[in-house]
Amino acid sequence: MSKSGSMQETRVAIIGAGVTGLAISAVLAETVGDVTVIERHEGFGREISAHSGDIIHSGVFYRTGSLKSQLCMEGGPMLYKYLEGNNINHSRPGKYVVATSEDQIPLLETLYKDAQLSGLRKLEYLDGRQVSLQEPEVQCYSAIYCPSAGTVDSHALMKAFYDEAVGKGVKFRMRKEVESVEKDSDGYVISTSGGDQVRARVVINAAGVGAPDIAGLAGIDTEAAGYGLTLVKGTWFACGKESPVRRLVFPLPEEDALGTGIHTSFDTAGRLRFGPDAEVVESPTDRALDPEKTDVFHSELSKYLKGIERQDIYVHSAGIRPRAGKSYQSDFIINEESGRGLPGLINLIGIESPGLTCCLSIAVMVNGLVQEALG
């Protein structure tokens, strides 16, 4: 440690102040009390969480028994309760998953049955006529209606988590890049930029795209552990006219596809957005926009949505999803690392969509691991 640096003692250190790290900090502020969050940016939610679709997912797409399925179904009701209790801007219009050809009808029926087996009970299977009566501008052969799907002002949510955590004594160390994570007899010593150090009994790695790097700094062979990431870039388009639909509309994704397909969402002002597409990139900062995607986006939208012309849409934003695998079905990894000789280190790898929906259920799961680690 340099002479200018400082040493801070804490029971739990969280690396990363995206929506997941913030939710964990708010929960642990209540159950542990002595918590420090380390963030390399000057503020919270500056990476993955700043570029999401702001969608509260129902869990219909995720395989039965997966963490994504379990945590999404648990997390949605928890999140709505938190939003309502804290007066955070959100909506619950529900969503359609649509079959746009007769060939897709058997696949949609299978998805409907699988979702029910996973525990999603409040689903409706509709034919195209029933959908058109509810949403005249949606065209499809049949659809699953998921009433629990919605949207949220994700920045307002993160601000609420942050304010709650700070109010309960959580310390935030911003603009601190983690340089090393070393195990010692009392836990871990985390060295950060500027020569500062934090000693913690428990370390939670919620660093998003940087999570494998943090795990590597702690001594884990990330390749052998299966902790590598596929960086999936998703571009969003916005609509320059009033939305022709009130509900969210999703195409039926192909099995093991890179993404779930270009679907609709709404921003905090209720304006219609479309996306994201999915392309693998090398850099976690590759959020360059490509207006030449307009034709592809409009073509995909036109398969299920009327009333939108090419000139009505324009490229809006892009984000990176840190995926622990190759398809949208690739699961979250949430591990306490005693089995690798690193007790009290909890790694969260591949927390992409539906991570926003799952933020509180993930926080509750991590809290259980923290309580076990602290004994």
- Predicted confidence at residue 302, as pLDDT, reads 95
Question: Rounded CA gap, 345 and 14, in Å?
Answer: 10
- Predicted confidence at residue 255, as pLDDT, reads 79
- Predicted confidence at residue 150, as pLDDT, reads 97
Sign of CA dihedral 322, 273, 23, 123: negative
DSSP state of 258: S
Contact 176, 85 (CB under 8 A): no
Is pLDDT of 14 > 90?
Answer: yes
- Predicted confidence at residue 52, as pLDDT, reads 87
pLDDT tier at 62, thresholds 50, 70, 90: very high
Is pLDDT of 275 > 80?
Answer: yes
Domain boundaries, the chain: 7-50+155-226+330-374, 95-147+230-323
Q: Residues 106-112: what's their mean pLDDT? A: 96
Q: Which residues does 51 contact at the CB level (< 8 Å), separation at least 6?
A: 287, 317, 318, 319, 320
Identify the H or E element spanning 167.
Answer: helix 154-167
Q: What is the pLDDT of residues 307-332, one digit of tens each?
A: 899 999 999 999 999 999 988 889 99
DSSP state of 41: S
- Predicted confidence at residue 1, as pLDDT, reads 42
**CATH number of 95-147+230-323: 3.40.50.12590, 3.30.9.10, 2.60.120.460, 3.90.226.10?**
3.30.9.10
Q: Write down how long the chain is.
A: 375
What CATH superfamily is the domain 7-50+155-226+330-374?
Answer: FAD/NAD(P)-binding domain (3.50.50.60)
- Predicted confidence at residue 77, as pLDDT, reads 97
pLDDT tier at 256, thresholds 50, 70, 90: confident
Q: What is the pLDDT of residues 228-246, one digit of tens each?
A: 999 999 999 999 999 999 9
Is pLDDT of 293 > 80?
Answer: yes
Q: What is the pLDDT of residues 114-155, one digit of tens each?
A: 999 999 989 999 999 999 999 999 999 999 999 999 999 999
pLDDT tier at 3, thresholds 50, 70, 90: very low
Q: Residues 156-167: what's their mean pLDDT? A: 98
- Predicted confidence at residue 4, as pLDDT, reads 60
* Average confidence score pLDDT of the chain: 95
Quote the percentage of the chain above a pLDDT of 70: 99
Q: Which residues pair with 48 in a beta bridge?
A: none
Which residue would you say has higher pLDDT here, 253 or 369?
A: 369
Is pLDDT of 5 > 80?
Answer: no
Cis peptide before 276 (omega within 30 of 0): yes
- Predicted confidence at residue 2, as pLDDT, reads 43
Contact 351, 206 (CB under 8 A): yes
Q: Residues 164-193: what's their mean pLDDT? A: 97
